[in-house]
Each structure stands twice: as structure tokens, then as C-alpha cells.
């Protein structure tokens, strides 16, 4: 029972970290693309249909991988 609880807690922690990184990446790409407030409220899958936005998202992914501390400090909500 304790093992199961440990696995569930670990899964929740990992899931929250992944969601946080995705939101940071989206914030970064929104900032780099500089669209208005209305467009920023669209879901990520719609934003990624725009090639300019997708390119900026890719740049943000590399920045997160290479400089995680600086990236997280810069693009936190």
C-alpha cells in the first residue's frame, strides 16, 4: 500500500512539472511572437499552426534545455 501511494505521489509531482514547463514554453513563444491579448487566449494547438509561432516555440524549447534556471525565472507568470 505504501509503495502504491509513493508511486501516485511521484506521478503527480512529475505531471505538475511537465505542465509547468509547457506553460513556460507557451509564455515564451507568446512573448517572442508578440501577438495581441485576444490571440494569446487561443489553445496551444491552434497557435502552433502558425509557422512563426512554431519557430519561436522551438527556440524556447532549446532555451529551456540549455538554460533552465534563467528560462524559468524569465517566463514565470
Q: Is the pTM of this model over 0.85?
A: no
CB distance 24 to 76 below 8 Å:
yes
User: Where in the chain are the domains?
Assistant: 19-75
Helix axes 51-66, 68-75, angle to 10 degrees: 130
Digit-coded pLDDT (tens) for 6-59: 555 555 554 544 568 888 999 899 888 876 565 677 888 998 998 999 999 999
- Looking at the predicted structure, is the pLDDT value of residue 4 above 50? yes
With b for 16 or more beta-carbon neighbours within 10 A and e for fewer, the 65-74 pattern comes to eeeeeebeee
Amino acid at each position: 500500500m505504501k509503495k502504491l501511494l509513493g508511486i501516485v505521489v511521484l506521478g503527480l509531482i512529475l505531471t505538475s512539472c511537465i505542465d509547468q514547463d509547457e506553460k513556460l514554453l507557451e509564455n515564451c513563444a507568446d512573448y517572442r511572437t508578440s501577438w495581441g491579448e485576444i490571440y494569446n487566449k487561443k489553445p496551444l494547438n491552434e497557435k502552433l499552426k502558425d509557422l512563426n509561432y512554431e519557430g519561436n516555440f522551438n527556440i524556447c524549447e532549446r532555451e529551456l534545455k540549455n538554460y533552465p534556471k534563467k528560462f524559468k525565472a524569465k517566463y514565470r507568470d
